[in-house]
Structure 1
Amino acid sequence: MSVAKKKQRDTRYSSYLHPRWWPTWLLIFLIWAVAQLPLRFQWWLGERIGDLTWRFIKGRRHITEVNLRLCFPELSEKEKQALVKQSFRANGIGVMELGVAWFRNPESFLPITKVHGLHHLDNALAKGKGVLLLGGHYSTLDLGGSLVTEFIQADVMQRDHNNPLINAVMTRARERRYGQALDARDLRGLLRQLKKNRIVWYATDQDYGRKDIVFAPFFGVPAGSITATSRIAKSSGCAIVPFSHFRRTDSLGYDIYFQPPLQNFPSGDDLADATLVNQTIENEIRKQPDQYLWMHRRFKTRPSKQDPSLYRKGDH
C-alpha cells in the first residue's frame, strides 16, 4: 500500500490569528451560536436552508435528481421530485447539526437517542481483532458519530477539510469524542488501531476515482467501489460491522443501528466483497432514503472511460 504525501495538520488555534482567517472565525462563531439554539428550531432552520439550496444550487439538485432516478426507478416522477426536496431538507438539518456535534456535549441528547443492536458490536470486539465500522455518508454524519461515542470507544477515518482552520475545529471536536481522527489515507495507522482491538469508523460509499476499484452494483447501477475494505479485513482479521444513524421523522430524536458482522468476508473475490458492502449500505439507506448524501456524484467513474457521464444535462 503506497502512502500519499499529505499536508501536516495544524490544529493549534494560535496558528490562525492573522486577519485573513477572521472571516472563517466569524463563520465558526456563527456555527457555534446556532448550535446553542433549541434542537427543534435548528431542525426547522435546517429545512429552510435545504429549501433555499434546492431552489438555487441547481447543479447539486441535478446530481441528486440523476442519482434518485437511477436508484429508485420504481418511483413516479412526482415521488422522485418529492424525495429530492426531502433530501435537501435533511442535509440542511445536517448542516445545523455540525455545530451541535462540534460544540455541544452529546450527553445532553442521550434521552432522545436509541441504540439498536449494540450486542453485535460487543460480540465482534470480543474476538480481539478489532472492528471496522462500515458507515455511510448519511445527513446525520457528524452528530451521529458524536452520539455513538457515548456508547462505545472508537477512532474515526476522516477526509481533511480544505480550509485548515475549519479542519482544525473539526479535528479537535472529533478527537474530544473519538480516540483518534486518522487521515483517510493513513491505512497504516488504521491497521495499528485494529491491532490494538480498537473500533474504527470507516466509509466506502463515495466515488474515489479509478484506482484500486471494481464496478459493483449499488442500487442496481455499476458503481466504482474501492477494494481496500477487503485488504484491510484480510490484513487485520477484523470484523466488519455495518453502522448507520438517522433522525427520527415522527419525533425529536435519533436512532443508531449496528448490524451483524459481514459473513465470509473477505471472500477472496474483490467483486463479490464490494457487492456485499454496497448491498449492506444500500439496505441501511432504504430505512430513511431522504437522509443520504445524494448530492455526491456516486456514479461519476464509469466502467469504460469512453462511457458518457450520467450527469451530463440533456441526456435524460
Structure 2
Amino acid sequence: MKNRIQNTFTSSLLRGLSALPYELVARTGEGLGSLLYLIPGKRKHILHTNLRLCFPEQNDSQREQLARSTFRHVIRSYLERGVQWYGSAKVLSKLVTLESAIELKDNYEQPTIFLGFHFAAIEAGCMYYSTLHPVASIYTPMSDQATDTISREQRGRFGTEMIPRNGSAREILKVLKSGKPIMLAADMDFGLRDSVFVPFFGVQACTLTAVSRLARLAGARVVPFITGVSPGYLGYKLNIFKALDNFPCGDPAEDALRMNQFLEEQVRLTPEQYYWVHRRFKRRPAGEAAVY
C-alpha cells in the first residue's frame, strides 16, 4: 500500500510538472537547487570531493562556483523528468535538437551500442531517440521501488525495450544481433566485477569493461552520444558521434581508458552539466584510502 501511494504521488507530481511551461520548470529547478545547496548533505560532500580530485588546478573559489552551478543543474534535471517521462513525442521533438555523425535507422546491419554518459540531460536524449527509432536500454534499477517502477514504465512508453543491468548477456547479444541498437552508460562505479582501474581526470576510477566485451562478442560498433542543456532555456541538444575507431582493440583496460578519455574531453566543455554528485571514485585500488 505504501509503495502504491508513493507511486501515485510521484507520478502525479511529474505529470503535473510536464504540463507547465518548460522554462518555468527549468528556472524553478535552478532556484530550488540554489536553496538546497545551502544545506549540508551527503551529495554536496560527494560533489566537492569529486571536484577537488578532478580539478586540482582550480582554486577554492572556482570550484565553489562550479559546485553551485552543478547542483542547480542536478536539481533542475530532477524536475525536468516530468516533461521527459510524461511529455508527448511532439513536445520532445520541440525541445531536442539532434545532430548525428552517423545515419540513423530503425535497424542496423552492424550491431550498434550507443554509449551514453551521465550529463544532466541524458534522459531527454534517450527519450527523444526512442520516439524516432526502435531501441533497447540497459538500466540500473533504482533503490526506491516507486520511482523505479515509474522510470521503467515511462522510459519504455515509446517502445523502448528495458533490460536490467543484471540481465542475461545472452538476451543483450540477441537484441544487438537482431539489428536493434542498445543504449547504455558505463561512467559509474558498478563494482569490481568486469571492471578495471584506469585514469579519469588523472584519478584511478573503477571502470566497466562490459562495453568492449559486448562489442567484441556481438561484432558491434560503439557510438558515443552526449545530450547537453541548451542555453537560454531552449531545451536540449543530442549529439551522436562517429563510432569509436578500433574499438574494441583487444585490450579491455585500453578500451576502458579510451572511454574515460572521450568522456573527459566532453566534460571539460560543460563541466557544470556532469553528474558530479555520483560517487565515481567509490572503490579504490588496493592500498589506497577511501576518498569519501
Q: TM-score normalised to the size of structure 1?
A: 0.86
- Cα gap change, 1:91/1:260 in structure 2, threshold over 3 Å: closer, same or farther? same
**Stretches of 4+ aligned residues off by more than 3 angstroms:** none
Distance 1:24 1:58 in 2: 25
Distance 1:20 1:149 in 2: 28
Deviations 1:19-78 (A, max 9, x none): 662244223212211221110000111112212331224221111111111112222221
- Cα gap change, 1:204/1:96 in structure 2, threshold over 3 Å: closer, same or farther? same
Q: What secondary structure does 1:201 align onto? A: strand
Q: What secondary structure does 1:310 align onto? A: coil
Q: What secondary structure does 1:149 align onto? A: helix
Distance 1:65 1:173 in 2: 32
Distance 2:280 2:149 in 1: 27
Match of 1:244 in 2: 226
Distance 1:57 1:130 in 2: 46
Deviations 1:241-297 (A, max 9, x none): 001101112441211111111111111111111100111122222222111110111
Alignment-mate amino acid for residue 103 of structure 1: Y
Matched, 1:77 2:65: no
1:44 counterpart (27, 45, 61): 27
Distance 1:23 1:82 in 2: 35
Match of 1:281 in 2: 263
2:181 counterpart (191, 194, 199): 199
Deviations 1:63-112 (A, max 9, x none): 11111111122222211111101011001111011111221113224234
Are the equivalent residues in 2 in contact too, given 1:224–1:302 (CA < 8 A)? yes
Equivalent residues in 2 for 1:88-127, closer than 5 Å: 88-116=71-99, 118-122=100-104, 126=108
Matched, 1:147 2:128: yes
2:50 counterpart (62, 67, 90): 67
Q: What secondary structure does 1:290 align onto? A: helix
Matched, 1:296 2:257: no
Deviations 1:96-140 (A, max 9, x none): 111112211132242342211x242549x75x2311111011111
Alignment-mate amino acid for residue 238 of structure 1: A
Displacement, 1:188?
Answer: 2.3
Match of 1:8 in 2: none
Distance 2:185 2:2 in 1: 36
- Cα gap change, 1:178/1:83 in structure 2, threshold over 3 Å: closer, same or farther? farther
Are the equivalent residues in 1 in contact too, given 2:189–2:207 (CA < 8 A)? yes
Q: TM-score normalised to the size of structure 2?
A: 0.93
Are the equivalent residues in 2 in contact too, given 1:133–1:240 (CA < 8 A)? yes
1:188 counterpart (166, 170, 176): 170
Distance 2:160 2:279 in 1: 31
Q: What secondary structure does 2:48 align onto? A: helix
2:17 counterpart (4, 12, 34): 34
**Most deviating of 153-162 and 197-206:** 153-162
Are the equivalent residues in 2 in contact too, given 1:69–1:80 (CA < 8 A)? yes
Are the equivalent residues in 1 in contact too, given 2:84–2:92 (CA < 8 A)? no
Q: What secondary structure does 1:257 align onto? A: strand
Alignment-mate amino acid for residue 222 of structure 1: Q
**Most deviating of 292-301 and 244-253:** 244-253
Distance 2:245 2:3 in 1: 51
Structure 2 unpaired stretches of 5+:
none
Are the equivalent residues in 2 in contact too, given 1:132–1:239 (CA < 8 A)? yes
Are the equivalent residues in 1 in contact too, given 2:3–2:146 (CA < 8 A)? no
Q: What secondary structure does 2:175 align onto? A: helix
For the aligned residue pairs, the C-alpha RMSD in angstroms reads 1.8
Distance 1:158 1:151 in 2: 20
Deviations 1:204-256 (A, max 9, x none): 00011222211111112110111111110110001100011011124412111
Are the equivalent residues in 1 in contact too, given 2:200–2:260 (CA < 8 A)? yes
* Equivalent residue pairs, number: 290
